[in-house]
Amino acid sequence: MIGLAVVMLAACDSDDKSSALCETHFNAKSYKVAVKHCEKAVEHNYADAKYYLGLIYIEQGQQAKGSSLIEASASSGFYKAEFHQTVRVLLEGDDPESVAQALHRMQQYAEAGDDVAQYWMGNVFLFGSAKQKPSPNEASYWYQMAVKQNNLRAMNNLAWIKALARDSELYDPAGAVELALKVVKKYPKSHGYLDTLAAAYAANGQYELAVEVQQRVIELAKSGECKNCTSKLIEYYQRHLEHYLKEEPLEETLFD
């Protein structure tokens, strides 16, 4: 009996290692190695491994297979999978009751101090997701909470509001530049973040800088490294540049 117990303990230890290695290699984006460890851990019903393997499958274009694993992980109570499912319903959900429940869960996460949840709550009100009316004021509230925790995506979106919310108390061109520079310092090759910086410079009347940055935005968007940069997106960036060349600040409607 002792020998059997030792074998069982060794097997459990091996499974634990597979689960840990699954997450480690996923976070390192070593997906080929991660798949091997994740699949082994999934065989032994590890909820965290189901989540990471599901994300890998989705990345590889196996949407249905990946979504099924993430759903199973969420059903087992793995927090990251539950969070993933909540975001999915907020963005894609059609059933009003399910969307309302997802929004309630996200708000609970945000109020508990989760900066990513605070960022998503900001997005809900900036873009009018989850059947909510757009509200830059409400969006700013949540983004500010996330910014206190150094959430860079929230910094970018808050900078965007500060740069474009003309004729409102939210308008803060200097604050927009300050936030946008912090984000770009961390991600100097992000065309989206640089686009925000250009808008912030233009809001401050610094059109030469806005033009310089926006030209860089377009250059990055046209490069072969940008997989999701469509012609429509490039045209969008080009229209921004045309404003700055005319020494005009960017104007986009934030308020209905």
On whether the CB atoms of residues 202 and 195 are closer than 8 A, the answer is: no
Whole-number Å distance between alpha carbons of 104 and 94: 16
Q: Residue-wise over 17-41: b if at least 16 C-beta within 10 A, else e?
A: ebbebbbebbeeeebeebbebbebb
Q: What is the predicted pLDDT for the residue at 12? A: 52
- Of the options 1.25.40.10, 1.10.3720.10, 3.40.640.10, 3.40.50.300, the CATH number for the domain spanning 1-77: 1.25.40.10
Helix axes 207-222, 231-245, angle to 10 degrees: 160
Domain ranges of the chain: 1-77, 159-256
- Of the options 1.25.40, 3.40.50, 1.10.287, 1.10.3470, the CATH number for the domain spanning 159-256: 1.25.40
pLDDT digits (tens, 9 = 90+) for 7-28: 444 445 566 788 899 999 999 9
Nearest to 87 by CA among 79, 215, 145: 79
Question: Can you list the residues of the chain whose pLDDT is less than 50?
Answer: 4-11
1-77 with 159-256: one CATH topology? Answer: yes
Q: What is the predicted pLDDT for the residue at 94? A: 87
Helix axes 115-127, 152-164, angle to 10 degrees: 30
Structure tokens belonging to residue 151? 């959430």
Contacts of residue 153, defined as CB under 8 A and 6 or more positions apart, other chains included, come to: 119, 146
Q: What is the predicted pLDDT for the residue at 93? A: 86
pTM of structure: 0.86
On whether the CB atoms of residues 142 and 122 are closer than 8 A, the answer is: yes
Nearest to 107 by CA among 95, 119, 96: 119
pLDDT digits (tens, 9 = 90+) for 190-231: 999 999 999 999 999 999 999 999 999 999 999 988 888 999
Q: What is the predicted pLDDT for the residue at 91? A: 87
